[in-house]
Chain A
């Protein structure tokens, strides 16, 4: 039997598959932009071939298909969602446009605001009102609701979101309204805020439920198509979708909750990070993935990837538990430019894959990070993307010369170096923000370099951050797909409760947690996960009573008794001190939200062994004899470095050197040693303290 993970991105569809005996195969196949499901089927057929099977028998022997996709995120970014209406409490229908008055850019009066997904004429108030305890102030006006329904019908909406004030305390009105809508509008998707995210703060809850309504029909249609395509080969292969939180849920459930798959792709990378932590016996990792347009950073602390209760995506908050992934616009395609004050900027704008970097020869004329890397000798123009794309040195040269070197009065190689180094510095800053910002010292972490482009930077950045080690996993180019194989089925629940230290009732808390457990277990029952294979994780989101933002506490127990108040009190103050540099013992606190994860205990990770790559590069990795190439990565100028092919990497290589693999090139900087580690990893370790680098940086003074 096989487990198969498919990660569909904008450019590539990556697949990783393991069999029962722990063998693994991986491949990269171009994404079919017109019909991603068709692309998946052909990539799966290729994967089946690698195991010597046809697609029917391969699927017949597949017990789980795990899928991560950027489809939902892209539909959101490109405005390709469904025609959506929003019902709110009467008098409160404009939260989406009011946006709490916040602007990302305060200095540009013309900066565009994020798209309002529901126009005002489709945002309709319904007479009803609950108070802050969830008690009815105005009963739901069903007559008025019926008129509203007729209006929605006439407008031809495909999807309706319902978000009433204080529904997180009492969902009865939302549920009653949803029932009326479902009955009178067959075929229209209806989604309520209490079922998507029963948490306090109506603006954040509204944006979350509206996105869900807007995107759910898109995801459902795609999954229907994918299931239908696969059914042509084999019935009933269960498909599990990767959620924002890093868990898996079945396609049937997720067809109602598209908003939970916005980070479906990159969440796999965080899961992969957990796998690396196990493999390397290193509990604290920074996992960084550099693709064409973005640089995603996530942390593994104590062997686990970090979760946040909410995040902002594409300009609006999503108040759902999510893997803590920070993304900046720094990728191989990031464009370099000189602003009017004479400052060199790299990113966040990207040339994407079309037209792409100038060196792709697809019409791009702006210089990118990839162009700079090529000019610096870091990339082999013949073997880029496993030899799928031949890079054009002259175009890269012209782009950097015309746009950077001439305006700044530098020569072309120096301009390329500046682009490369600034890209590296921006990525280092992103890493600093997720580590130091959370009070974590990056020097305690090892850096995992995922994605095809990042291994060119990882060593230098680890050096700059004074991290001891950068690790390049050989599955790096398909890291998210590989990570998904380690994910397990789970249910994420979150409820607002508002329990204060002054009136701490363990019964109320126990009842709430009990309800949540029952709901989570019902899902795992449906998947047939045996009880001993289950685990739960409870988090309390707490604050001092007069604060406005919560911090997360792990209470370490699921049932609370009389002594719990003291232990919760202790844990809260301790965490507050860690995060903000002070605490105030004795001040009253409150529990605002309770989060619960119910999941299946994760199986082990499988690590790649030699011959793991399949597809068009199975012919045996290109193994040129170790050659030398002129490379520049620092102020020391051009240096001759040794270049090793995949098959010819000795167990230890001293930098400077380049290691060329299908889909990725690793730079071993001067002062680093690369060594081959267990579980298919290459480790880059610093040999000396980085005082030397400091001198280089400041050599003019």
Chain B
């Protein structure tokens, strides 16, 4: 074999081997974390991400985790590099959560472990996880009344938590003492440190096996390849400037919607997302740190570029984000930001999607539901212990796409497929409430040739003596958008049933004390529809009627499909499409629309 091509063969092999190995390591870190953690939002709902960064903080591999945390780890590592630089030592572990200094919102804590080989800093293992409570003035740390970050919890700039292998107990105690469940937070930080420790060990094994220089060089090649592919895909998009706008309901104080404007500027093989034109920062907690704005922008663009573009720092290089300081999407401290990973992260993605829908509509889904539901807290009469939990089970649904109906229960898009909601049975063992209903809701899906996923009806009744709830979320005023002629999805709704009364709940409320026996009912958004409803296959409309997703009347009025009951077994209402009448009705509706 001639030496030059031999080199090339080895390089091809090493690239595949090392890319796979890094993915295996990130996956293993995620498994350790998931299986040993305590906070339900993190262990049960998997609201975390694990990854590996190079010595400059560029993300090299991340398999575990939810999309909106995709680049968050990278920012945390860069903050540590910025603050500690060459003072980082082997055996150190760092902690950070400040949204203005390497974090995204306070409940997400980043734990960063440097990996040295031969005295040289080569990699970082990073895990970011959402903890159940990080202090502040509302249990669960989603505080719709906060007007400053100080009311949202403990703010941690990049700090050394373990120094050369020894835990800095002072730092650990200072943090945990300021939260409602210090024991749980401590256990979960130990779990994060444990996951990083295992990641570090695996990287060291890999470095020993393949030699550090070869590994590092290969990692750079992997990043370059990803960048090249991302740029090729960008180059293939139509040239131009595309603008998309999405609204946030409100910030819990002002009643007017808040505007996010994304201008996507595509020039040759680079792409810029410019948020000039977005509203200024607001009083309530729907501002978003630059970390979340950047992540939301990158993942939105990468979803459009295709699933095979690796989600690593190389691909992110091809995307520039311009978010004016003092705006909703890059606020100045001390603006509160806790809701940002849900809203407006999802709305930033929406604005970019709606911009790119003008360029490549076939790749863009219609709108997804937004998160909205209470955190609940109180003292569990079965154990006498304080509890705080979230209504994860009230998720909305996904929008339709060209060729594909929306998926139920996949909202918000910022969490797409990464969270895992708890079982009803686990919830009832864990919290003093009984679930009344958890089922798809008819009449919620946005109409379209490819309809949205139907929303969910979810209701729980509390039996503890003194339950409390804090409503947080969005999407009670602005529905998921329809696309290419499709209709919008439904709005989020919530109400309180107390002593025979029904009280509507708002998306952002002060903590509210309930009575035992009260119940909270939530109906989440159905996703938006894609394409004209009159073009939906009549057989699919029939199936939706049979499945109880839409009514016969909707089939006729919205879809122009005439469904009839036919004879046969009396126990079974046979239904069939009347194709002849459907044709006539659809023609009539089309011309009616035209006129």
Distance A413 CA – B310 CA, assembled complex (angstroms):
29
Chain A residue contacts of B1, Cβ below 8 A? 413-414, 632, 635-638
Return the CB mask of A348-373 against B: 1 if under 8 Å, else 0: 00000000000000000000000000
From 69 to 111 in chain A, residues with beta carbon under 8 angstroms from any chain B beta carbon are 91-95, 97-111
Distance A165 CA – B429 CA, assembled complex (angstroms):
12
Q: Looking at chain B's contact residues, is the secondary structure mostly helix, strand, loop, or mixed?
A: helix
CB–CB A101/B409 < 8 A:
yes
Distance A23 CA – B536 CA, assembled complex (angstroms):
66
CB–CB A548/B44 < 8 A:
yes
Distance A343 CA – B211 CA, assembled complex (angstroms):
21
Distance A109 CA – B434 CA, assembled complex (angstroms):
34
Return the CB mask of A228-257 against B: 1 if under 8 Å, else 0: 000000000000000000000000000000
Return the CB mask of B305-328 against A: 1 if under 8 Å, else 0: 001111100000000000000000
Asked if B499 CB lies within 8 Å of chain A CBs, one says no
From 540 to 566 in chain B, residues with beta carbon under 8 angstroms from any chain A beta carbon are 543, 546-549
CB–CB A109/B36 < 8 A:
no
CB–CB B425/A340 < 8 A:
no
Instruction: Specify the chain B residue showing the minimal Cβ separation from A632.
Output: B1
Which of A106, A111, A121, A429 sits near B547, CB closer than 8 Å? A121
Distance A426 CA – B417 CA, assembled complex (angstroms):
26
Query: Which of A45-53, A517-525, A566-574, A577-585 lies at the binding interface?
Result: A577-585
Which of B434, B438, B543 sits near A98, CB closer than 8 Å? B438
CB–CB A699/B6 < 8 A:
yes
CB–CB B426/A201 < 8 A:
yes
Asked if A150 CB lies within 8 Å of chain B CBs, one says yes
CB–CB A697/B197 < 8 A:
no
Distance A574 CA – B418 CA, assembled complex (angstroms):
31
Asked if A308 CB lies within 8 Å of chain B CBs, one says no
Which of B10, B27, B408, B418 sits near A697, CB closer than 8 Å? B10
Distance A106 CA – B321 CA, assembled complex (angstroms):
22
CB–CB A544/B187 < 8 A:
yes
Given A121-B548, A421-B13, check contact A110 B401 (CB 8 Å).
Answer: yes
Highest count of chain B CB atoms <10 Å: which of A95, A100, A153: A100
Return the CB mask of A275-292 against B: 1 if under 8 Å, else 0: 000000000000000000
With an 8 Å Cβ cutoff, the count of chain B residues facing the other chain is: 98
Asked if B168 CB lies within 8 Å of chain A CBs, one says no
Chain A residue contacts of B211, Cβ below 8 A? 694, 697-698, 701
Asked if B171 CB lies within 8 Å of chain A CBs, one says no
Asked if A468 CB lies within 8 Å of chain B CBs, one says no
CB–CB B424/A92 < 8 A:
yes
Instruction: Specify the chain B residue showing the minimal Cβ separation from A466.
Output: B209
Distance A345 CA – B11 CA, assembled complex (angstroms):
14
Chain A residue contacts of B548, Cβ below 8 A? 120-121
Instruction: Specify the chain B residue showing the minimal Cβ separation from A338.
Output: B12
Asked if A432 CB lies within 8 Å of chain B CBs, one says yes
Query: Which of B16-24, B91-99, B585-593 lies at the binding interface?
Result: B16-24
Asked if A436 CB lies within 8 Å of chain B CBs, one says yes
Given A92-B437, A93-B439, A119-B547, check contact A584 B421 (CB 8 Å).
Answer: no
CB–CB B420/A200 < 8 A:
no
Given A110-B401, A425-B17, check contact A418 B9 (CB 8 Å).
Answer: yes
Instruction: Specify the chain A residue showing the minimal Cβ separation from B365.
Output: A109
Asked if A224 CB lies within 8 Å of chain B CBs, one says no
Given A91-B439, A103-B417, A131-B434, check contact A549 B35 (CB 8 Å).
Answer: yes
CB–CB A94/B440 < 8 A:
yes
CB–CB B424/A111 < 8 A:
no
Return the CB mask of B381-414 against A: 1 if under 8 Å, else 0: 0000000000000010000010110011110000
Given A113-B407, A120-B547, A582-B194, check contact A418 B423 (CB 8 Å).
Answer: no
Asked if B416 CB lies within 8 Å of chain A CBs, one says yes
Return the CB mask of A403-442 against B: 1 if under 8 Å, else 0: 0000011110110011001100110010011001100000
Query: Which of B110-118, B222-230, B249-257, B334-342 lies at the binding interface?
Result: B222-230
Asked if A342 CB lies within 8 Å of chain B CBs, one says yes
CB–CB B308/A340 < 8 A:
yes
Distance A150 CA – B572 CA, assembled complex (angstroms):
8
Given A165-B425, A436-B202, check contact A548 B37 (CB 8 Å).
Answer: yes
How far apart are B407's CB and chain A's nearest CB, in angstroms? 7
CB–CB A547/B67 < 8 A:
no
Asked if A546 CB lies within 8 Å of chain B CBs, one says yes
Chain A residue contacts of B584, Cβ below 8 A? none
CB–CB A410/B410 < 8 A:
no
Chain A residue contacts of B409, Cβ below 8 A? 97-99, 101
Asked if B174 CB lies within 8 Å of chain A CBs, one says no
Return the CB mask of A541-560 against B: 1 if under 8 Å, else 0: 00010111101000000000
Asked if A183 CB lies within 8 Å of chain B CBs, one says no
Asked if A154 CB lies within 8 Å of chain B CBs, one says yes
Asked if B72 CB lies within 8 Å of chain A CBs, one says no
CB–CB B209/A694 < 8 A:
yes
Chain A residue contacts of B197, Cβ below 8 A? 581
CB–CB B210/A698 < 8 A:
yes
How far apart are B227's CB and chain A's nearest CB, in angstroms? 9
Return the CB mask of B176-198 against A: 1 if under 8 Å, else 0: 00000001100100110010011
Which of A103, A343, A544 sits near B15, CB closer than 8 Å? A343
Given A202-B424, A410-B5, A635-B1, check contact A576 B36 (CB 8 Å).
Answer: yes
Asked if B483 CB lies within 8 Å of chain A CBs, one says no
Asked if B332 CB lies within 8 Å of chain A CBs, one says no
CB–CB A111/B40 < 8 A:
no
CB–CB B439/A166 < 8 A:
no
Chain A residue contacts of B424, Cβ below 8 A? 92, 165, 202
CB–CB B12/A101 < 8 A:
no
Instruction: Specify the chain A residue showing the minimal Cβ separation from B411.
Output: A101
Distance A429 CA – B18 CA, assembled complex (angstroms):
10
Distance A433 CA – B63 CA, assembled complex (angstroms):
14
Given A91-B438, A101-B395, A694-B210, check contact A107 B420 (CB 8 Å).
Answer: no
Instruction: Specify the chain A residue showing the minimal Cβ separation from B453.
Output: A97
Which of B20, B232, B421, B546 sits near A100, CB closer than 8 Å? B421
CB–CB A107/B302 < 8 A:
yes
Distance A95 CA – B407 CA, assembled complex (angstroms):
13
In the A-B complex, the 7 residue pairs with the smallest Cβ-Cβ separation, listed nearest first, are A103-B417, A154-B572, A108-B307, A120-B547, A91-B437, A581-B194, A341-B229
21 contacts between A and B (CB under 8 A): A102-B420, A119-B547, A151-B571, A154-B571, A165-B424, A340-B229, A345-B16, A410-B12, A437-B28, A546-B184, A548-B38, A548-B426, A580-B36, A635-B9, A637-B1, A637-B6, A694-B211, A698-B214, A699-B7, A700-B11, A701-B211
Chain A interface residues toward B at CB < 8 A: 91-95, 97-111, 113, 119-121, 125, 131-132, 137, 150-151, 153-155, 165-166, 200-204, 339-346, 408-411, 413-414, 417-418, 421-422, 425-426, 429, 432-433, 436-437, 464, 498, 544, 546-549, 551, 576, 579-582, 584, 587, 632, 635-638, 694, 697-701
